[in-house]
């Protein structure tokens, strides 16, 4: 049986306006990661492998959690949201969001246009993104062991879509709910990929950590 624990990176630079400047943890993001690592050490700390994407915020989260990285896999890198937002404005006149409320409306619009092939000149097509993420999950399902993957919200949303057979609109809704440093468990057993946990943040449940439950 394979058990895959997906973790979204800690809070990154939420004031960024491009992918490069977004790719670094905030002070709170580092703290979120340290709290998650402490929780895992107190409960079930062993992993047979620790895999991250190649982005700084992903690897930094794993290291702040206290884990050595077994390998990095570019297929676990995030989708290029800022590039797609720029294309959305240029090609369809939809401006980029200015705050989290506008982002909640904007992201599903971007995902819809992207999945329908209505965004041109973006870093990758939706089929390319879908193929690379599902390929990683399927490869891990072919093996055994407990695997920690530190990645990003879009990748986790795609993994959940793959496991649950969701429509693309359902994937966008899931992506909006994925909190920084949250855990998501997939189990491959009886030749089936099943979701065991979604968006768990036990390390942030204490009342004095309510401020650390972030989405962006």
Kindly state the average pLDDT of the residues 21-37. Answer: 96
Give the model confidence (pLDDT) of 56-92 as tens digits. Answer: 999 999 999 999 999 999 999 999 999 999 999 999 9
Give the model confidence (pLDDT) of 45-58 as tens digits. Answer: 999 999 999 999 99
Q: How confident is the model at residue 203 (pLDDT cuts 50, 70, 90)?
A: very high
Q: Is the pLDDT score of 148 beyond 90? A: yes
Query: By the 8 A CB rule, do 107 and 172 touch?
Result: yes
- The three-class DSSP label of residue 69 is coil
Predicted local distance difference test score (pLDDT) of residue 155: 98
Greater model confidence, 88 or 171: 88
Give the model confidence (pLDDT) of 2-15 as tens digits. Answer: 999 999 999 998 77
Q: How confident is the model at residue 188 (pLDDT cuts 50, 70, 90)?
A: very high
Predicted local distance difference test score (pLDDT) of residue 16: 79
Predicted local distance difference test score (pLDDT) of residue 14: 77
Query: By the 8 A CB rule, do 42 and 24 touch?
Result: no
User: Percent of the chain beyond pLDDT 70?
Assistant: 100
CATH code assigned to 6-78+124-211: 3.40.50.1240
The alpha carbon of residue 117 and the mean position of all alpha carbons in its chain are separated, in whole angstroms, by 22
User: 């409306």: which residue's tokens?
Assistant: 105
Q: How confident is the model at residue 112 (pLDDT cuts 50, 70, 90)?
A: very high
Q: Is the pLDDT score of 216 beyond 90? A: no
- What is the Cα–Cα distance from 126 to 181, expressed in whole angstroms? 25
Predicted local distance difference test score (pLDDT) of residue 17: 79
- The three-class DSSP label of residue 200 is strand
Whole-prediction pTM: 0.95
Q: How many CB atoms lie within 10 A of CB 40?
A: 21
Q: Is the pLDDT score of 100 beyond 90? A: no
Domain ranges of the chain: 6-78+124-211, 80-123
- The three-class DSSP label of residue 81 is helix
Predicted local distance difference test score (pLDDT) of residue 205: 95
Predicted local distance difference test score (pLDDT) of residue 207: 96
């Amino acid at each position: 049986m394979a058990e895959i624990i997906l973790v979204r990176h800690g809070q990154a630079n939420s004031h960024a306006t491009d992918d490069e400047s977004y790719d670094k943890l905030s002070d709170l993001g580092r703290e979120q990661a340290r709290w998650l690592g402490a929780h895992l050490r107190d409960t079930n700390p062993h992993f047979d492998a620790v895999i991250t994407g190649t982005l700084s915020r992903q690897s930094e989260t794993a290291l702040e959690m206290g884990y050595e990285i077994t390998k990095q896999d570019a297929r676990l890198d995030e989708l290029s949201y800022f590039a797609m937002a720029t294309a959305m404005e240029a090609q369809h006149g939809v401006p980029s969001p200015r705050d989290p409320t506008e982002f909640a409306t904007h992201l599903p619009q971007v995902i819809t246009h992207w999945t329908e092939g209505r965004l041109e000149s973006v870093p990758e097509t939706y089929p390319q993104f879908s193929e690379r993420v599902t390929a990683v999950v399927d490869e891990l399902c072919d093996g055994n062991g407990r695997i920690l993957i530190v990645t990003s919200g879009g990748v986790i949303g795609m993994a959940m879509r793959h496991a649950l057979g969701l429509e693309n609109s359902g994937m966008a809704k899931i992506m909006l709910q994925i909190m920084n440093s949250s855990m998501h468990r997939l189990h491959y057993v009886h030749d089936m990929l099943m979701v065991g946990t979604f968006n768990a943040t036990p390390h942030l449940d204490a009342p004095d950590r309510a401020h650390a439950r972030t989405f962006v």
